[in-house]
């Protein structure tokens, strides 16, 4: 299998690359598992040394809006593409043109390059629950309209539509996955409004205080990096027929109040750690979080065999194992 990951040095791209290389197999167009022959990682920054040093890995560093670079990243022999690169929500909101260029135009270029190839590559597209927004029903279902209230969400929904139409036309074999909010992210806080959901676990576990800007009763729809990466591979390996008339799904997640997240941290790491969370309400962040739909019925994903995290405690323990 010749595989390309865009955003291959990103937090999830890197984990996906590690998983594919370790498993050394992926289900091809013919329905059979094959070994990973070449894994191309495209990103603006280099991946870590251990990935670079794997003889199966090709590193391409540069801007995804550069069509020539994309063509190099997706040669005729490409079997599978995991398109993870994106300008995230705050970034696409701040710089509209950059968001359109990376999240929409580059996605379209990838699909066009695939369409021109002899093979019909599988394309797994990382989308987001930011595709939902505004006056939503209490529970978001598979057939709830996507009415995004950010440019990022808009660009992601457009990507889903293109994945569907290019698949229907037989240009690609696509799959689009709407990710829940990912906890626990490693590293530093980013500019996303949801960043506190990881901070309140990650920082206390490392002996640092973390500010929580929302009330304990605020709810979010969450999934762990482990379950998301496993679900990305599962999405790839399903047959086209199993997807049915629509090549998209919301990934399973769990709905939890921030207070219960803090309680899970207390159970796993004790009072001293959990007490490092400082509750400092920020009306601006609170209002944004209040606008996110917390409850999802992901029936399609569950019918298709996608997995869901078992508990917040398990998510925290996995984070400790994987990152600390």
Minimum distance of a second copy from residue 164's CB (angstroms): 7
Between helices 312-323 and 258-269, what is the axis angle to 10°?
A: 60
Beta-carbon-side half-sphere exposure of residue 170 (alpha carbons within 13 Å): 1
Minimum distance of a second copy from residue 146's CB (angstroms): 6
Task: Give the interface segment with a second copy, choosing from 8-16, 195-203, 244-252, 305-313 (CB under 8 A).
Answer: 244-252
Minimum distance of a second copy from residue 113's CB (angstroms): 14
Cβ contacts of 67 within 8 Å, gap of 6 or more: 109
Cβ contacts of 97 within 8 Å, gap of 6 or more: none
Give the one residue of 146, 175, 202, 226 binding a second copy; rule: CB under 8 A: 146
In the region spanning residues 256 to 315, those forming contacts with a second copy, defined by CB under 8 A, are none
**Distances 224 to 160, 231, 323 between C-alpha atoms, Å:** 22, 11, 13
* Interface with a second copy: number of residues (CB under 8 A): 27
Minimum distance of a second copy from residue 219's CB (angstroms): 20
Cβ contacts of 64 within 8 Å, gap of 6 or more: 6, 42, 44, 70, 85, 102, 106
Catalytic residue among 82, 125, 152, 171: 152
In terms of C-beta density within 10 A (0-12 exposed, 13-18 middle, 19 or more buried), how is residue 96 classed? exposed
Task: Give the interface segment with a second copy, choosing from 35-43, 57-65, 71-79, 239-247 (CB under 8 A).
Answer: 239-247
d(CA 60, CA 56): 13
Binding mask 14-53 for a second copy (x = CB under 8 A): ----------------------------------------
Instruction: Say whether residue 154 binds a second copy (CB under 8 A).
Output: yes
Give yes or no: 166 in active site.
no
Instruction: Say whether residue 164 binds a second copy (CB under 8 A).
Output: yes
Degrees to nearest 5, angle at CA 2 with 47 and 25: 90
d(CA 21, CA 35): 9
Instruction: Say whether residue 135 binds a second copy (CB under 8 A).
Output: yes
Task: Give the interface segment with a second copy, choosing from 12-20, 48-56, 118-126, 243-251 (CB under 8 A).
Answer: 243-251
Task: Give the interface segment with a second copy, choosing from 144-152, 264-272, 303-311, 316-324 (CB under 8 A).
Answer: 144-152
**Closest to 34 measured CA to CA, from 236, 263, 318, 299:** 236
Are the beta carbons of 62 and 91 closer than 8 angstroms? no
Minimum distance of a second copy from residue 115's CB (angstroms): 9
d(CA 129, CA 153): 8
Instruction: Say whether residue 143 binds a second copy (CB under 8 A).
Output: yes
Give the one residue of 161, 273, 276, 314 binding a second copy; rule: CB under 8 A: 161
Minimum distance of a second copy from residue 259's CB (angstroms): 28
Q: What is the dihedral of CA 286, 148, 309, 254, to 10 degrees?
A: 50
14 or 178: CB nearest a second copy? 178
Q: Which residues bind a second copy (CB under 8 A)?
A: 96, 133-137, 142-149, 151, 154, 157-158, 161-162, 164-165, 168-169, 244-246
Indicate which residues carry an active-site annotation: 152
């Amino acid at each position: 299998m010749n595989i390309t990951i865009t955003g291959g040095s990103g937090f999830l791209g890197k984990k996906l690359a590690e998983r594919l290389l370790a498993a050394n197999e992926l289900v091809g167009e013919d329905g059979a598992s094959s070994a990973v022959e070449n894994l191309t990682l495209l990103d603006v920054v280099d991946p870590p040394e251990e990935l670079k040093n794997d003889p199966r890995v090709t590193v391409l560093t540069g801007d995804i809006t550069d069509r020539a670079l994309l063509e190099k990243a997706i040669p005729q022999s490409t079997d599978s593409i995991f398109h993870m690169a994106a300008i995230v929500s705050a970034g696409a909101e701040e710089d509209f043109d950059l968001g359109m260029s990376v999240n929409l135009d580059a996605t379209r270029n990838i699909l066009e390059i695939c369409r021109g190839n002899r093979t019909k590559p599988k394309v797994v597209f990382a989308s987001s629950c930011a595709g939902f927004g505004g006056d939503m029903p209490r529970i978001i279902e598979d057939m709830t309209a996507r009415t995004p209230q950010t440019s990022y969400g808009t660009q992601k929904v457009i990507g889903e539509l293109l994945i569907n139409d290019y698949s229907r036309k037989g240009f690609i074999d696509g799959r689009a996955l709407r990710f829940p909010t990912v906890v626990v992210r490693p590293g530093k806080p980013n500019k996303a409004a949801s960043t506190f959901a990881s901070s309140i676990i990650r920082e206390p576990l490392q002996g640092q205080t973390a500010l929580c800007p929302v009330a304990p009763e605020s709810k979010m729809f969450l999934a762990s990096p482990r379950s998301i990466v496993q679900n990305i591979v599962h999405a790839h390996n399903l047959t086209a027929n199993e997807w049915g008339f629509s090549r998209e799904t919301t990934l399973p997640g769990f709905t939890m109040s921030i207070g219960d997240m803090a309680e899970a941290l207390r159970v796993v790491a004790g009072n001293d750690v959990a007490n490092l969370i400082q509750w400092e309400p920020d009306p601006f962040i609170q209002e944004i979080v209040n606008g996110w739909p917390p409850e999802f019925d992901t029936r399609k994903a569950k019918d298709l065999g996608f997995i869901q995290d078992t508990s917040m405690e398990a998510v925290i323990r996995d984070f400790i194992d994987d990152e600390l």
